[in-house]
Amino acid sequence: MTSPLRLTLAATTGACALALGAAAPALAADDSGKAMVSVFHGIPDLTVDVYANGDELLSDFKPGTVTDPQSLDAGTYDIKIFEAGKGPDGTPALQKTVEVPEGGNATVAAHLSADGQPELTAFTNDVSQVDAGKSRLTVRHVAAAPAVDVRAGGQTVFSDLTNPKEDIAEVDAGTINADVVLAGTDTVAIGPADLNLAEGTSNVVYAWGSAEDKNLALATQTFSGMESSPRGVPAGGSGAAVTPNSTDLSAGWAVAGGAAVLTGALVVRRIAGRRG
């Protein structure tokens, strides 16, 4: 299995440099010099416009939405995120300098920190092949909320997941049922809920929003084409498909709050440790 991409965030004055290593499956030959980049918007109650090097990249981008992967030329991008209609000459809500090397596959998430401050985090998307009959599940905690444990069939699968960390497992493909509890407790924060994980897919679940403001929700991102059988088409470039989805599950949160993530109730094999 291909090693995950290496990713580094280096703080700069008024910006942040994003380095995406090129250890993922290679892009197609005609995509030489390119990288695949998605954007997730996880800041509640703020519709935004996104600019790259002064040009509008996304307009009226709503919370809980993840874009399809875009093939970008390798290079440096000055990313500015404005409240909708207030760019490009106004003061951005977020500004980052993003360095995109050739061959990367990542999602850049605009979200709240654990203490509720807007920030940007870049995550490497693992689009390597999965075993026959399996699906990959990645859980990303990008909510202003405390740590959680994730249970499948009452058994803890992911434990003590904190913002802005992620955890990854390979699970049996199929519809699975899960719930989320506040870390170290049996207090159910969300669920039970079902998630359909198709064979040969890589599924990312984002827990976003604010526990204090009671607007926590889930969004999912799905990459396809990772089957290990001959019919599979290796992903990692333009072949990766993304299914945006947002589910408002704030009503199911315990009064104490917490972060929501989903994982499988079937047999789970951990394929990577806590990252981020």
Which pLDDT does position 98 carry in this prediction? Answer: 77
Backbone dihedral angles phi then psi of residue 250, each to the nearest 5 degrees: -65, -30
Say whether both 62 and 154 belong to one domain: no
CATH number where 67 lies = 2.60.40
Contact criterion met (CB below 8 Å) for 72 and 34 = yes
Taking Cα atoms as reference points, which of 199, 203, 249 lies closest to residue 223? 203
* Per-residue pLDDT tens over the stretch 115-157: 999 998 888 899 899 999 999 989 899 999 899 887 776 778 8
* Per-residue pLDDT tens over the stretch 154-205: 778 889 999 999 999 998 998 878 777 789 888 777 777 788 889 999 999 8
Domain that holds residue 105: 7-124
Say whether both 190 and 103 belong to one domain: no
The residue among 66, 97, 124 that closes a domain is 124
Q: How far apart are CA 111 and CA 138, in angstroms?
A: 17
The residue among 76, 106, 124 that closes a domain is 124
Which pLDDT does position 236 carry in this prediction? Answer: 38
Say whether both 38 and 147 belong to one domain: no
Contact criterion met (CB below 8 Å) for 62 and 52 = no
251: Cβ contacts below 8 Å, ≥ 6 apart? none
Say whether both 70 and 92 belong to one domain: yes
228: Cβ contacts below 8 Å, ≥ 6 apart? 129, 130, 131, 132, 200
Say whether both 218 and 112 belong to one domain: no
Say whether both 74 and 111 belong to one domain: yes
Would residue 90 count as lying in a domain? yes
Would residue 255 count as lying in a domain? yes
Say whether both 240 and 159 belong to one domain: yes
Tell which wins on pLDDT, 1 or 61: 61
41: Cβ contacts below 8 Å, ≥ 6 apart? 48, 61, 62, 63, 64, 65, 66, 110
| Element spanning 212, H or E | none
The residue among 124, 147, 171 that closes a domain is 124
68: Cβ contacts below 8 Å, ≥ 6 apart? 38, 241, 242, 244
Would residue 230 count as lying in a domain? yes
Would residue 1 count as lying in a domain? no
pLDDT of 227 over the 70 cut: yes
Q: How far apart are CA 93 and CA 40, in angstroms?
A: 15
pLDDT of 237 over the 50 cut: no
Say whether both 120 and 142 belong to one domain: no
How buried is residue 43: exposed, middle or buried, by Cβ count under 10 Å (0-12/13-18/19+)?
buried
Total domains in the chain come to 2
